[in-house]
Structure 1
Amino acid sequence: MQPTTRVYRKQIIEGVSIPALIHNDSYFFTDLDVYEDGRVSCWNFEDLEHFKKDVRRGWVALSVPENEYISIHGLGKWSVKNASWTFDSETFIEYVSSLIKELNPHMENIFKYRQKVVKGVRIGETGTGIIYKPENPKDIFPEKIEGNSTNLLYRSGDEYYLVKATVFADLKISLNRLEKPLDLTFAELQELVDKKVVLTELPAQARVCIYGLGSFNIGECGYVIAIDQKLLEIQDQLRELRGEPGSKQICIEAYNKYLENPVSENKEQLKVSYENVPAHERMYLGDMDTKDIPIRMIIYGEQEIENWSHYRVAKARGMELPVIRIPKQKD
């Protein structure tokens, strides 16, 4: 007799997040998610033995060479000088192994990776965890308050700490990657920004500390995201955690509305909603190829296609120029 009803179950695997670097041509700061089943998310997500290989081959890096750049997603990029780093590859592997042991004292049900293939297609997995805090830590099975995060800098004396600003659904904000995390409201965060305690732009030769990874002086700045744009990003995260639409969703809806009915009123709504999106997040409003270029062409004119990377490459190589088609305005 064949069963006729299919079922599935979801399993929560607990973990912790720790700072490290990914060396993929350049050096990218990242948070590694370390799980009780021995898996570590490091842009790869396989098993503990694969992770150890990634550390030993330098994919997971624990330092940035002198005068090389460190890229910090959503924050900035600086060259590194006079650095002091906490780990080498073997001590870091020991550290991660100790975290897994702490999460799973008996080292039970340690995951063993096997490549998944479905109908001839290799299936990858994402290991990025969901940030949370327990609603009532004293409960045996506390409810989880989910959160989101972004990178900021926190000034303490003459040093600047790279902090993880974690925003929760209860509208509280926690500054982590500090020895003692700070819990704030958005108003309190804004006050720290006004006092230049929380910031994004660094003075020349500033000393940056990454708790649990190392410290360095900055050299040249490749780019930096303005603090006002980061505050807009955090406000967006708060809205989304409350179940409200964020600025990106509002803009995408306005874009689709214009495509359906390209009139001046809808164009103006699109312009307002686009300019409400934090500047560093506007590239995510389209697909991976065109990004926000079609929206910019509608708002600011078709010459915006000249800022499209595909267009620039084709022009530089003397190739046929690519085209993005947008509807003509009716009125």
Structure 2
Amino acid sequence: MINPTTNVYRKQLIEGFSIPAVIRNGSYFFVDIDVYADGRVDCWNFEDLAHFKEDVRRGWVVLNIPDNEAISIHGLGSWTITNGSWLFDAESFIDYVLQLIRILNPTLENIYQYRQKVVNGIKIGESANGTVYKEQKRTANDFFPEKIGGESIHLFYKVSEEYHLVKVIIFPDLTIHLSRLEKTVYTTLEEFEELITKGIILSEVPVHAKVNIHGLGSFTVQKEQYATDIREKLLEVRDIIRELKGEPSSIEVCRTAYQQYLDNPTLENKEQLKSSYEAVPDHQKMYVGDMDTKDVAVRMIIYGEQEIENWSHYRVAKARGEKLPVINLPAPKDESDE
């Protein structure tokens, strides 16, 4: 046999729908699960249709939140709810997902069956990493319109005295779609900012307000656990636009400034780190460091060594009477003294 000398690979585009649900992992986490034409469903686990059904029936994917429990919405907040009214039970939701798969794949061809991948004895997991997109036709009769990828966050959209939990999809051309509504609302970034100013787009909802989640149900807010400030969410939207354009986000700028300070701990670099850190949205500041220390090391450089007392490892060790952990960081040097 002649051995080939050139390797190739191909990427397969598989279309799907994103629909709302809840993951019960100790608490109740609102999510959008992605349903694909090949029968795969991403619900934090990304396996096949049979495993998805098991996840629903065993209560990993749930379709309602009991009254007096809290709904946690990533990047937005957490609220204790009451008066929940929900559209599905386990079996009707499974049927709904099957209907969506048939819309995407009417003959149910090439339905995926999960097989554990093992490489050199190591089990390999997979991530769906689905991309939200809009289509952009180049001509009126374009049969293969370009897919413009976007990123999304959750916010509330106020209509009369009710609130809708919407999926805000941001695109690099400064357009924004408010989806997870009966009819998608299309805006520009400027119009989106005006809706925030007018109190129509919000990150917080008042107690006793009714919240609708299109495709899942509704509830009344009983108590706010915490919520992210809308100004911080707007900073996040602008950050997303920069990333979609291939520019560094505020988090990446801060990480670069942090490394620059570690490499050369001058007062000037400390001030640069402070400026870049304070430009990061508050709810994302934890991501400027590593998974262990979060942003504690950065805060110690900027605001003083006492910031280590906010480190979870430090608090746990102190509560247990154990030796306190340390984070070694260089002190800033005054370049004028050199």
> Do they fold alike, i.e. is TM over 0.5?
yes
- Among candidates 176, 181, 192, match of residue 179 of structure 2: 176
Q: Note the 1:192-203 alignment, pairs <5 A.
A: 192-203=195-206
- Among candidates 329, 332, 338, match of residue 326 of structure 1: 329
Task: Name the structure 1 match of 2:308.
Answer: 305
- Among candidates 258, 265, 271, match of residue 255 of structure 1: 258
Matched residue SS, 1:63: coil
The worse-fitting range, judged by mean Cα deviation, of 319-328 and 220-229 is 319-328
- With normalisation by structure 1, the TM-score equals 0.98
Q: Note the 1:1-331 alignment, pairs <5 A.
A: 1-136=2-137, 138-331=141-334
Q: CA RMSD in A?
A: 1.0
Please tell me the residue identity of whatever aligns with 2:325: P
Please tell me the residue identity of whatever aligns with 1:39: R
Matched residue SS, 1:201: coil
Per-residue deviation, 1:35: 0.5
**Could you tell me how far apart the structure 2 residues matched to 1:138 and 1:26 are?**
48
**Could you tell me how far apart the structure 2 residues matched to 1:258 and 1:138 are?**
55
Matched residue SS, 1:220: strand
Deviations 1:50-104 (A, max 9, x none): 0000000010010001100000001110011011001000000000011011001
**Could you tell me how far apart the structure 2 residues matched to 1:205 and 1:264 are?**
50
- With normalisation by structure 2, the TM-score equals 0.96
Per-residue deviation, 1:187: 1.1
Per-residue deviation, 1:143: 1.1
Contact 1:71 1:77 in 2 (8 A): yes
Q: How many residues align?
A: 331
Per-residue deviation, 1:188: 0.6
Matched residue SS, 1:125: coil
Contact 1:145 1:170 in 2 (8 A): no
**Could you tell me how far apart the structure 2 residues matched to 1:231 and 1:47 are?**
36
Per-residue deviation, 1:2: 2.2
Per-residue deviation, 1:138: 4.8
Distance verdict in 2 for CA 1:218–1:49, change over 3 Å: same
Please tell me the residue identity of whatever aligns with 1:327: P
Please tell me the residue identity of whatever aligns with 2:70: Y
Matched residue SS, 2:56: helix
Matched residue SS, 1:249: helix
Matched residue SS, 1:126: coil
**Could you tell me how far apart the structure 1 residues matched to 2:132 and 2:329 are?**
39
**Could you tell me how far apart the structure 2 residues matched to 1:35 and 1:14 are?**
6
Matched residue SS, 1:117: strand
Per-residue deviation, 1:5: 2.3
**Could you tell me how far apart the structure 2 residues matched to 1:319 and 1:4 are?**
59
**Could you tell me how far apart the structure 1 residues matched to 2:105 and 2:324 are?**
56
Per-residue deviation, 1:194: 1.1
Per-residue deviation, 1:107: 0.6
Contact 1:16 1:35 in 2 (8 A): yes
Per-residue deviation, 1:243: 1.6
Question: What runs of 5+ residues in structure 1 fail to find an aligned partner?
Answer: none
Contact 2:207 2:224 in 1 (8 A): no
Per-residue deviation, 1:4: 2.6
**Could you tell me how far apart the structure 2 residues matched to 1:120 and 1:234 are?**
42
Please tell me the residue identity of whatever aligns with 2:132: I
Please tell me the residue identity of whatever aligns with 1:328: A
Please tell me the residue identity of whatever aligns with 1:17: S
Question: What runs of 5+ residues in structure 2 fail to find an aligned partner?
Answer: none
Counting aligned pairs with the same residue, the percent is 61
Please tell me the residue identity of whatever aligns with 1:121: I
**Could you tell me how far apart the structure 2 residues matched to 1:104 and 1:298 are?**
55
